[in-house]
Structures are given as C-alpha cells and as structure tokens.
C-alpha cells in the first residue's frame, strides 16, 4: 500500500532529526522492565492493560516512527494519535528508573500528530 499524499514525511523526519539523540537514547535504555507502569494511574485504572504502560506508549509511537524513519501511513499516525492523546494525559507522573524522560518522548509524538491535523477526540 502506498503512502497517503496527506502525510508530510519531511516534517516527520525533521522532528525526528531534531530529537534523534533523545529518541535513540530512550529506545536503547528501555529495559522493558515495566517499572514505569505502576507510576501511571491510567495503567492501574485500566486493569493493567499493557497499552497504557508508559514505555509501551513511547516505544509504539515516536519509537516506531524513528525506526521507520518517518515513513508511515495515515492509519499508522491515527493509531499513534490514540496512544499519545487518548491513552496518556501527559500528567508527567511516569517514572523510569533508568532516567528516560517518557513525557517528553510522548510530547514529540503529539507534535508529529498535530503537524498532520490529528488531535485528541474532544478537540476534533
């Protein structure tokens, strides 16, 4: 399936390039230990659904974009929107014992979504 014309991969690549070190460090440092999960009230309130785990949210949003070098479909960005807006309130309570700044990585995912007109459900 080809790339949708609505996707501006240059803007995505620019965000990824500007934040490359932080993204790369976060992906490399994440030990998938799940210790960040208990600091997320949404994870706890959603019966420990892994999709609400802070590490899952950043790895499957900005992390996935980074690994794909910004080449994504509109559907992939819509799925990312659901992760970074609907499954995260950006309360900044997530705690990583390895020092990964998860809220700033999720904020990058939100920035990418906003550049493509993808917002929270109640902002649409």
Task: Count structural domains, the chain.
Answer: 1
- Domain of 87? 30-115
Is 18 part of any domain? no
**88 phi, psi to nearest 5 deg:** -150, 130
Per-residue pLDDT of 17-73, as tens digits, reads 999 999 999 999 999 999 999 999 999 999 999 999 999 999 999 999 999 999 999
Whole-structure pTM value: 0.88
In a domain, 103, yes or no: yes
23 lies in some domain: no
Residues near 16 by beta carbon (within 8 Å), at least 6 away in sequence: 23, 62, 65, 66, 69, 70
| 22 found inside a domain | no
User: Does residue 12 sit within a domain?
Assistant: no
Domain annotation covers residue 11: no
In a domain, 124, yes or no: no
């Amino acid at each position: 399936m080809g790339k949708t014309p609505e996707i501006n991969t240059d803007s995505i690549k620019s965000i990824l390039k500007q934040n490359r070190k932080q993204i790369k460090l976060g992906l490399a440092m994440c030990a998938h230990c799940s210790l960040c999960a208990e600091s997320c009230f949404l994870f706890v309130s959603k019966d420990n659904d892994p999709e609400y785990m802070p590490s899952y949210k950043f790895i499957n949003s900005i992390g996935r974009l980074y690994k794909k070098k910004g080449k994504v479909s509109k559907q992939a960005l819509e799925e990312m929107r659901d992760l970074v807006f609907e499954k995260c309130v950006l309360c900044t309570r997530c705690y990583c014992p390895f020092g990964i700044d998860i809220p700033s990585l999720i904020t990058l995912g939100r920035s990418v979504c906003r550049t493509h007109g993808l917002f929270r459900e109640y902002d649409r």
